[in-house]
Amino acid sequence: MSEEKKPTAAVMTAWASRCLMKQGATPDVAQSMAEHLVAGDLLGFRTHGLLRLRYNLQALQRGQTKPAGEPELVQGRAAIELWDADLLSGLYVVPKAVKRAIAMARVCGTGTVVIRRTQHVAALAVYLEQAVDAGMLIQMMCSTPAQEVVAPYGAKSACFSPNPFALGVPTESAPILLDMSLSMTAAGKVRTALAENKQLPYAALITAEGDYSCDPATFVAEPASVLASLGGKELGYKGTGLNLFSELWTLALSDYGRKDAAPADADANTVWLQVVDPTAVAEQGAFERQASALVEALKNTQPIDPQQPVRVPGAGALATRARQLTHGIEYSAATWRQLEWCADFCDEPLPTAANAQ
Amino acid sequence: MSEEKKPTAAVMTAWASRCLMKQGATPDVAQSMAEHLVAGDLLGFRTHGLLRLRYNLQALQRGQTKPAGEPELVQGRAAIELWDADLLSGLYVVPKAVKRAIAMARVCGTGTVVIRRTQHVAALAVYLEQAVDAGMLIQMMCSTPAQEVVAPYGAKSACFSPNPFALGVPTESAPILLDMSLSMTAAGKVRTALAENKQLPYAALITAEGDYSCDPATFVAEPASVLASLGGKELGYKGTGLNLFSELWTLALSDYGRKDAAPADADANTVWLQVVDPTAVAEQGAFERQASALVEALKNTQPIDPQQPVRVPGAGALATRARQLTHGIEYSAATWRQLEWCADFCDEPLPTAANAQ
C-alpha cells in the first residue's frame, strides 16, 4: 500500500462494521466494535486495532462472542453496578458502562461499573476520552479469569493474567491518557520478538528454572517461561501488589474468579471502571487547572538526554491520531494481509485507492 | 533495653498520648495520634511508628500541627467528599475519613474522601483494617504538595513527592494489606543507608548527571540525586504514570497543588481514600471467598527459591504484630533514644521494666 492509499478512519470503520454484520452482529454492535478497534489503530495501539478484526469475526462466527443483546445488571447501588455481559463484545459493552458511570458520577460524585464475562475489550485507551470529554477522571483495570501468564514476586510459575491499567483526565489542553500493563512486558511483545528473532530489551521473563531472561524462545519452550510482574527482580513485590489490586477489584468483586470461568469464557475479560466528577468537590475548571500544573511540572524537569524531553502520557498517542486523521491510517503490510483475509472471509472487498480517501 | 523490658502497646500508647497532651493536643486527638503511631510499630513500619513522636510533639509545640478541632467538609456529593484538615494530624483525621467513607459505601456502594492539608499521615497501612473489619475493600494514596523528590521517567530532576499506595481487603482468613511507595525506594531508606555507610541494593537514585546510582551519598550532594519512579531505567514510564495517578487523584482533585501549598504546609499531606462495599454487587461472603481463592493461587505458584514461599502482602506485617502483641514491642536502641528525648521534652517518664508489662 503506497502513501496515497492510506485509508481514512471513516472508510475503515464502515468496512469493518459491514464485515462484523456479515457474521451476525447487529448494526449497533457492529458499529461500536468497528469504531473502537479503529480507535485503537488511530492511537497507535496497533496490536489492539483492526489487526484483531479477524479474531472478532471468528469469535462471532463460532458463537463465542454474542452478536446481539444487552449486558445484564446483576446488582448495584447508587454509585456502583455489577454487569454481566453474557459474552457480548467489550467493544460494545464498555462504552455503555462508561456512559452509565458518568451518569452515576453526576449524581453521586463517583460512578463505578464492574463488568464480567465481556469478550475482547481490546485497548483500554480507546474508552478513556468518553469520560474525559464529559469533564471527568476515569480509571480502568481489566483481567482475564481464564488466563495465568504473569508470575507473582518470587515465583517461577504464573497466577495472574496480563492486567492492563489505564487512566484519563482532562487538563486545560490535551488530556492525560495512560494505558499500561502491570507486568514487565505483554505477551504480544514477546511473540513479536520471537517472530522477528530478537531478544527482549530487558529481562521480562522468568524461566521454568527461575531465571530472569530476555529470550522470547523460553516463552514457547516446555515448560514455558512466564511474564514477570512490574518491578522485576528487585521490586517485583510492588507489581505483584498492583496485580492483586487489579484482580481483587475485578475478579473478586465481580464474584467471577478463575474457578468460575467456563471453557466458553476462555478469553472473556472482567473490567473495573470508575469515573470521578471533579465538580463534586471543587469549582468548575479547578481540576483542569491543577492537572495542567502537574503537566507543566513534568515538562519542566531536566531531561537526562537533552534530545528527549520528558513525555506526558498520551501525548504520543494523540499525535499519532492527529497524523492519521489527516493522512489516513498507516497499516503495516502484515496487518493489511490480515484485513485481506477478513475481506475474503466476509466477502466485503477492502477499500481501494479509489474509495479509501 | 533487655528482652524482658519490651513494653506493651497499651503502655506505650498511654505514654505517647500523655506526651501529646502535654504539647496541647486534646485527649481525643492525642489518643488517636498515639494509637496510630503505635499501630505502625506493631505492623513493623518502624520508620512511621513512635520514632516519629518527636516530630509530632515538635510540630504541635510550634503550632505547625493543630492540637484541637475538626476537619472541615469543603464540598461533596453522596459518594465523595473533600475535607480540609486545617493542619490537624492525619493520625486523627484519616480514621474519621475512613469511617465516613464506610458510611457512604453502605448507602452508595462506594465512599471516597479526599483530605487536603493534613499533617503527618504516617503509614497508610495503619488505616486499612478499619475498613477491612467492616467487610470492605479500601484503597489509599497520599502525596505531599510541598515536596519534589521523585523524578519522572527520562528526567534527572524531580517533580513528584514520595507517594505511597495502599490497599486492604478482607478474605476468609487474614486480610490482604499492602502499603508501598510508587518510587524505587523511599527517602528514609536512602538516609538509613547513608547513616550505615552502605550502598543501596539496586540503583534507585538518579544523579544530577543523569546516571542511575546505588550511592546514598549522591542524595546529599550538591546538586543532589533524586528518587527514580518505580520501573527504573527500562520501565520508569509506568511508575511515572502511577505517580501521576496519585497526584491527579490527590492534589488536582483537592484543588490544592504545589502552587497553593503555603510554607506552613511544608509537610502537610493530601490523601485519597476509597472504600467499596462488596455486598453492593454480590452476596455476603462472595468477595471473601474470591479473595481467598486469589491468595491460594498466589501461594500455589512455584517459588524460585524453595526456601522462600511466595508471600501474601500483609502476612509479614500481621505476624510481626502478633509477635509484638504477645511479647511486647521491639524498639531498637536508636528509637528508644528518640523516645527518651520525648520523655524529657514532655517530662513524662518512659515506661520502665516495672510498668512496661
Q: Do A298 and B114 count as a contact with CB atoms less than 8 A apart?
A: no
What is the nearest CA distance from A353 to chain B, expressed in angstroms?
39
Please state, for a pLDDT cut of 90, what percent of chain B lies above it: 93
Yes or no, beta carbons of A281 and B313 under 8 Å apart: no
* CA distance linking residue B305 with residue A211, whole number of Å: 11
B248:A178 CB<8 A:
no
Least confident of A25-29, B20-24, B351-355: B351-355
B110–A79 C-beta distance less than 8 A: yes
Confidence (pLDDT) at B5 = 63
How many residues would you count in chain A? 357
Min Cα–Cα distance to chain B from A79, Å: 5
Task: State how far residue B237 is from chain A, nearest Cα, in angstroms.
Answer: 8
With contact defined as beta carbons under 8 Å apart, do A28 and A88 qualify? no
Alpha carbon separation from B157 to A73, B41, B147, B160, B343 (Å, rounded): 48, 33, 12, 10, 40
If we measure between CA atoms, which residue out of B247, B286, B237 comes closest to residue B269? B247
B281 to A114: CB separation less than 8 angstroms, yes or no: yes
Cα–Cα distance measured from residue B337 to residue B331, given in angstroms and rounded to the nearest whole number: 10
Q: What is the pLDDT of residue B87?
A: 97
CA B205 – CA A64 distance, rounded (Å): 49
Nearest-10 Cα torsion for A232, A238, A239, A243: 150
Residues in CB range of B30: below 8 A, 6 or more apart: B16, B17, B18, B20, B21
Residue A16: which of A354, A343, A357 has the closest Cα?
A343
Amino acid identity for residue B225 in this structure: S
Taking an 8 Å cut-off on Cβ atoms, the answer to whether B109 and A77 are in contact is yes
Upper half-sphere CA count for residue A36 (Cβ side, 13 Å): 27
Is the CB of B154 less than 8 angstroms away from the CB of A303?
A: yes
Band of residue B12 on the pLDDT scale cut at 50, 70, 90: very high
Of A240, A247, A287, the CB nearest to B252: A287
CA atoms within 13 A on the CB side of B329: 27
Q: B-chain residues within 8 Å CB-CB of A310?
A: 152-155
Task: Spell out which residues of chain A touch residue B230, defining contact as CB-CB under 8 Å.
Answer: 230-231, 235, 238
Please report residues of B whose CB lies closer than 8 A to that of A79. Answer: 78-79, 108-110
Nearest by CB: A238 against B82, B230, B278: B230
Distance CA B28, CA B62 (A): 20
B22 pLDDT above the threshold of 60? yes
Please check whether residue A213 is in contact with residue A207, taking contact to mean a CB–CB distance below 8 angstroms: yes
- Which phi and psi (to 5°) does residue B115 adopt? -120, 125
> Collapsing DSSP states into helix, strand and coil, what is residue A166?
strand
Contact B229, B150 (CB under 8 A): yes
DSSP A266-330: TT-EEEEEEEE-GGGTS-TTHHHHHHHHHHHHHHTSPBSSTTSPPPPTTHHHHHHHHHHHHH---
CB contact under 8 A, B248 and A310: no
CB–CB of A76 and B109 under 8 A?
A: yes
Contact A153 B251 (CB under 8 A): no
Neighbouring-strand partners of residue A176: A169
Nearest-angstrom CA–CA distance, B28 and B30: 6
Confidence label for B264 from pLDDT (cuts 50, 70 and 90): confident
Nearest-by-Cβ selection for B253 from A78, A231, A278: A278
pLDDT score recorded for residue A264: 74
Residues in chain B closer than 8 A to A146 (CB atoms): none
Domains, chain B, in order of start with CATH, read 1-69+313-357 (1.10.1530.10), 79-183+229-300 (3.30.1370.60)
**In the structure grid, which three cell numbers stand for residue A138, read together?**
476515569
DSSP string, B77-129: ETTEEEEE-TTBBHHHHHHHHHHHHHHHHHHHSEEEEEEEEEB----THHHHH
Residue with cell 500493563: A181
- Model confidence at B357, pLDDT cuts 50, 70, 90, reads very low
Cβ-Cβ contacts under 8 Å, B114 against chain A: 281
pLDDT at B275 (0 to 100): 98
Average pLDDT, integer, range B327-344: 96
Treating both helix axes as pointing N-terminal to C-terminal, what angle do A27-42 and A90-108 enclose, rounded to 10 degrees? 90
Size of interface A-B (CB pairs under 8 A): 282
CA angle A355/A12/A98 to nearest 5° reads 150
Of A82, A110, A137, the CB nearest to B110: A110
Which helix (H) or strand (E) segment holds residue B295: the answer is helix B286-299
Strand partners, A110: A276
Per-residue pLDDT of B93-104, as tens digits, reads 999 999 999 999
The verdict on a CB contact (< 8 Å) between A281 and B235 is no
**Nearest Cβ partner for A238 among B80, B155, B180:** B180
| Nearest CB to A293; choose among B77, B249, B259 | B259
In the block, residue with C-alpha cell 511479647: B327
**ipTM field:** 0.97
Q: What is the rounded distance in angstroms from the CA atom of residue B332 to the CA atom of residue B116?
A: 33
At B253, the pLDDT band (50, 70, 90 cuts) reads: very high
Give the pLDDT score at B3. 45
User: With a cut of 70, which residues of chain A have pLDDT below it?
Assistant: 1-5, 353-357
Q: Quick one: cell of A216?
A: 522470547
Largest CA distance in chain B: 58
Predicted confidence at residue B261, as pLDDT, reads 81
Chain A nearest C-alpha distance from B239 (Å): 9
| Closest Cβ opposite residue A79 in set B78, B237, B282 | B78
